[in-house]
Amino acid sequence: MGRVRPLHHAARRLLLLFPRPRGFSSSSSAAAATPSREPLHVCVVGSGPAGFYTAEKMLKGHQGAQVDIIDRLPTPFGLVRSGVAPDHPETKIVVNQFSRVAANDRCSFYGNVSLGRDVSLSELRKTYDVVVLAYGAESDRSLGIPGEDLRGIYSAREFVWWYNGHPDMCNLAPDLRSTDSAVVLGQGNVALDVARILLRCTSELAATDIADYALDALRGSTIRKVYLVGRRGPVQAACTAKELREILGLKNVHVFIKEADLVTLPADEEEIRNSRIKRRVYELLSKAAIAHKGKNNDGQKELHFVFFRRPTRFLPSEDGVTVGAVQLEKTCLKDDGEAGKQVAVGTGEFEDLKCGLVLKSIGYKSLAVEGIVPNLKGKVLSSETENATVEPGLYVVGWLKRGPTGIVATNLHCAEETVASILEDDKKGLFMEPDSKKQGRRGLLEILEQKNIRFVPFNAWEKIDSKEKIAGELKNKPREKIKTWNDLLMAAN
Amino acid sequence: MGRLHPRGSASATAATLSTLSSSSSSSHFAAVVEGRRAAAPATGHRKKNTLFSTASTSSDHHDGSQDKEKISVTFVNKDGTEQTISVPVGMSMLEAAHENDIELEGACEGSLACSTCHVIVMDVNYYNKLEDPTDEENDMLDLAFGLTETSRLGCQVIAKPELDGMRLALPAATRNFAVDGFVPKPH
């Protein structure tokens, strides 16, 4: 963080010198779909990266498109606000681009409007020519092993939402003062994020937009050891080099990697050969193992990479209600038949790892639908069966379309594909049936008024935004987030 | 296709996803990036120098003497159309593209935290005239779509006289969302 921040300010200033309306100037490709009638009414459900990139590409690709973005929260930007780690401010810069999209005359934001509760999908489809579902994955996969309900076990998503001040998780209050060990299950970037937040100097975190209560809790934290547990080996770790490099370079943290775990088999070497990213991740881990070997870790916090272990049950501590240990089964890798893919299988050998906090970072899950919505290049299908039909006017993008993976930029390409599908349908005249005249924004506002829903428009979010920034300035942080639903709605007024 | 259905579909698995994304282009990716390794080493210094020098240059470039020097760079868009622009020495390709309405994304505005300004240097001779990418740039290139042996981030390519006449391609969008079956988590 320290290294990058001064740059990002410089860079931002620099780019602000050149405000660019380029997103909305008509371009050669945009001319393809000329509006031959009323506006094309588009509603995007969800205002994270997938939603905003979709809105941007839609506005650019169809000069007659009117895009309304709804979000169940009073605040826009989805996981850029509540998922991206507070010590990654550069990753959040993309909100500048999204704010320019929201400022477009043909785009409106309606926060505090929940699909399902405030407005139904069928209402939206009756109101808009095009409905794009971009509401991501707000739940978690579960391990389904005994003891998972013990106190002190959270999903990484819950923990991330907590330190990022998400209004649904601001009361989580994880106990960080009754144990010296935390176990993180998983070795992807989210796992590395939560481990880094637990280990990083709080003086560094104090300069980020981390929620104030989380900073307080971390200041009082007694956690000295964090274990990152993966079912497979260093070659299969699901993190990226950037995040790994960062956590390996944390100040005052001693890294433990067992040399025996770094031994590669021919199948591993094949994987390394076939993937630049795996090769670079493996190299980083190998280098770190050597660099920390034999070093004295006097008083340092500890980060342990635990490979080839899968959790089989959670064991209670003496009080009977809080987690006290995770039982792990040693694994070995087996070719599962798919080319180049190795899976972990248990060996029947078990060990217990003591801890008082467990963060499960094994994947997000979309609510209401199991996994992802069946779709063809973003066009929603009626089912997964072979004779599935396309749901007219209904599209999907982002995690709901392709599963909970990828970085912010993945949504750019994902949105391009979904918007291309929409434009193709528009060209075919799918939205021009005479009996299907849609009301668009006017219709939505009527529905919201009828139901007495107090929505939060973009300029009200800007009030929240500026209040947060002012509160942050007093503490030398970029912003102090407003955390509760009530306070957010009040700040919007 | 196109038959009206009463409601949005309910259940799903990864089946649709995997048919869309996996097999085809992953091996291509691997093949293309293999051999890049020689270009990988790096110091971490360049990022800072680059950005600061860019910042100072751009603020000077109305009357500063060194900025009289400009080079010609051609961007090849996704649809194959070309735009040749004149870029002051010291300016990054990301900045130059944005000043000229070229559709190069720049989500993190040049702070080396994304890969959206990925460009492909079309002539390896020009690619070799660039300083090696830093570890940090390589970390981001790991995640770029359609990575090639001569891929760079536009924010890290700074105009200098030797680059006059360089051609840069914007990678066409790929449908390969799961790069090599590898699934990086968000941010």
- Residue to mutate among A228, A405, A424, with most B CBs inside 10 A, is A405
How many C-beta atoms lie closer than 10 Å to residue A204's C-beta?
A: 13
CA dist A159 and A89 (Å) reads 19
How many C-beta atoms lie closer than 10 Å to residue A52's C-beta?
A: 32
Closest Cα of chain B to A425: distance in Å? 10
Q: What's the rounded mean pLDDT across residues B10-15?
A: 34
Contact A323, A253 (CB under 8 A): no
A475: phi then psi, degrees, rounded to nearest 5: -110, 10
Domains located in chain B, CATH noted: 70-169 (3.10.20.30)
What are the tens digits of pLDDT across the range A33-77?
444 557 999 999 999 999 999 999 999 999 999 999 999 999 999
Contact A43, A70 (CB under 8 A): yes
What are the tens digits of pLDDT across the range A296-305?
777 899 999 9
Q: What's the rounded mean pLDDT across residues A103-119?
A: 96
Mean model confidence pLDDT for chain A: 90
Q: What's the rounded mean pLDDT across residues A138-150?
A: 92
B112 to A384: CB separation less than 8 angstroms, yes or no: no
Q: What pLDDT does A296 receive?
A: 73
Task: State the pLDDT confidence band at B80, using cuts at 50, 70 and 90.
Answer: confident
CA dist A430 and B92 (Å) reads 43
The percent of residues above 70 in pLDDT, for chain B, comes to 56
Contact A194, A158 (CB under 8 A): no
Task: Name the residue among B103, B108, B95, B94 with its Cα closest to residue A23.
Answer: B103
Tokens found for residue A337: 């038949």
Contact A98, A52 (CB under 8 A): yes
Please check the confidence at residue B177 and state whether its pLDDT lies above 80: no
* Interface check A99 vs B, CB under 8 A: no
What are the tens digits of pLDDT across the range A350-360?
999 999 999 99
Task: State the pLDDT confidence band at A363, using cuts at 50, 70 and 90.
Answer: confident
The percent of residues above 70 in pLDDT, for chain A, comes to 90
Closest Cα of chain A to B35: distance in Å? 9
Q: Where are the alpha helices (DSSP H) in A370-457?
A: 399-402, 410-427, 441-450
Tokens found for residue A365: 């899950």
A90 to B108: CB separation less than 8 angstroms, yes or no: yes
Q: What pLDDT does A19 receive?
A: 39
B51 to A94: CB separation less than 8 angstroms, yes or no: no
Range 410-429 of A in CB contact (< 8 A) with B: 410, 412-414, 416-417
Residues of B in contact with A404 (CB under 8 A): 186
Radius of gyration of chain B from its Cα atoms, rounded to whole angstroms? 19
CA dist A20 and A473 (Å) reads 28
Residue written as token pair 């982002």: A398
Range 90-119 of B in CB contact (< 8 A) with A: 95, 98-99, 101, 103, 105-116
The percent of residues above 90 in pLDDT, for chain A, comes to 77
Please check the confidence at residue A331 and state whether its pLDDT lies above 90: yes
A337: phi then psi, degrees, rounded to nearest 5: 100, -40
Closest Cα of chain A to B115: distance in Å? 7
Task: State the pLDDT confidence band at A367, using cuts at 50, 70 and 90.
Answer: low
Q: What's the rounded mean pLDDT across residues A320-348?
A: 90
A373 to B12: CB separation less than 8 angstroms, yes or no: yes
Q: What pLDDT does A339 receive?
A: 63
A104 assigned to a ligand binding site: no
Please check the confidence at residue B28 and state whether its pLDDT lies above 60: no
* Interface check A212 vs B, CB under 8 A: no
Please check the confidence at residue A470 and state whether its pLDDT lies above 50: yes
Give the CB-side neighbour count of residue A162, counting CA atoms within 13 A: 21
Q: What's the rounded mean pLDDT across residues B89-97?
A: 97
Please check the confidence at residue A475 and state whether its pLDDT lies above 50: yes
Amino acid at B72: S
Residues in a beta bridge with A153? A358
Task: State the pLDDT confidence band at A386, using cuts at 50, 70 and 90.
Answer: confident
Q: What pLDDT does A365 receive?
A: 72
What are the tens digits of pLDDT across the range A224-272?
999 999 999 999 999 999 999 999 999 999 999 999 999 999 999 999 9
Task: State the pLDDT confidence band at B180, using cuts at 50, 70 and 90.
Answer: very low
Q: What pLDDT does B145 receive?
A: 86
Task: List all residues 6 or more positions away from A163 whose beta carbon is below 8 Å from its beta carbon.
Answer: A86, A197, A210, A211, A214, A218
CA dist A117 and A443 (Å) reads 17
B11 to A84: CB separation less than 8 angstroms, yes or no: no
Residues of B in contact with A394 (CB under 8 A): 8
Task: State the pLDDT confidence band at A435, using cuts at 50, 70 and 90.
Answer: low
Q: What pLDDT does A266 receive?
A: 92
Task: State the pLDDT confidence band at A371, using cuts at 50, 70 and 90.
Answer: low
Q: What pLDDT does A7 receive?
A: 37
Q: Where are the beta strands (DSSP E) in B36-155?
A: 70-76, 82-88, 118-121, 151-153
Residues of A in contact with B105 (CB under 8 A): 409, 412
Amino acid at A290: I
Q: What pLDDT does B43 receive?
A: 37
* Interface check A369 vs B, CB under 8 A: yes
Q: What's the rounded mean pLDDT across residues A288-303?
A: 86
Residue written as token pair 């205002």: A47
Q: What pLDDT does B176 receive?
A: 33
Task: State the pLDDT confidence band at A139, using cuts at 50, 70 and 90.
Answer: confident
Residues of A in contact with B136 (CB under 8 A): 242
B99 to A375: CB separation less than 8 angstroms, yes or no: no
B187 to A274: CB separation less than 8 angstroms, yes or no: no
* Interface check B89 vs A, CB under 8 A: no
- Bigger pLDDT: A340 or A460? A460
Out of B4, B101, B177, closest to residue A25 by CB: B101
Distances in Å between the Cα of A215 and the Cα atoms of A209, A485, A486 are 10, 20, 22
Report the range out of A480-484, B31-35, B171-175 with the highest average pLDDT.
A480-484
B139 to A240: CB separation less than 8 angstroms, yes or no: yes
Out of A390, A414, A430, closest to residue B177 by CB: A414
Residue B131: DSSP 8-state: P
* Interface check A93 vs B, CB under 8 A: yes
- Bigger pLDDT: B177 or A148? A148
Residue written as token pair 């042996």: B149
* Interface check A141 vs B, CB under 8 A: no
pTM: 0.82
Domains located in chain A, CATH noted: 40-138+366-492 (3.40.50.720), 139-365 (3.50.50.60)
A103 assigned to a ligand binding site: no
ipTM score here? 0.85
CA dist B12 and B10 (Å) reads 7
Opening angle at CA B155, ends B61 and A80, nearest 5: 120
Range 255-274 of A in CB contact (< 8 A) with B: 273-274
Name the strand (E) or helix (H) holding A49.
helix A49-61
Q: What's the rounded mean pLDDT across residues A310-337?
A: 95
Task: Name the residue among A401, A451, A442, A441 with its Cα closest to residue A422.
Answer: A401
Q: What pLDDT does A9 receive?
A: 40
**Largest distance between two CA atoms of chain B:** 68
Q: What's the rounded mean pLDDT across residues A114-135?
A: 94
Counting Cβ atoms within 10 Å, is residue A368 exposed (0-12), middle (13-18) or buried (19+)? Answer: middle
Tokens found for residue A98: 């999204």
Q: What's the rounded mean pLDDT across residues A187-193?
A: 96
CA dist B121 and B141 (Å) reads 14
CA dist A314 and A321 (Å) reads 11
- Residue to mutate among B46, B101, B111, B155, with most A CBs inside 10 A, is B111
Q: What pLDDT does B83 receive?
A: 95
Q: What's the rounded mean pLDDT across residues B75-79?
A: 90
Q: What pLDDT does A8 receive?
A: 41
Please check the confidence at residue A118 and state whether its pLDDT lies above 70: yes
Tokens found for residue A428: 């075919």
Q: What pLDDT does A436 receive?
A: 66
* Interface check B59 vs A, CB under 8 A: yes
B8 to A373: CB separation less than 8 angstroms, yes or no: yes
Task: Report the side by side order of strands in the sheet with A225-229.
Answer: A153-155, A357-360, A181-185, A225-229, A301-306, A253-257
Amino acid at A234: P
What are the tens digits of pLDDT across the range B43-52?
333 343 333 3
Task: State the pLDDT confidence band at A423, using cuts at 50, 70 and 90.
Answer: very high
A445 assigned to a ligand binding site: no
A339 assigned to a ligand binding site: no
Instruction: Name the 3-class secondary structure at A38.
Output: coil
Q: What pLDDT does A387 receive?
A: 82
Task: State the pLDDT confidence band at B14, using cuts at 50, 70 and 90.
Answer: very low
Q: What's the rounded mean pLDDT across residues B59-87?
A: 78
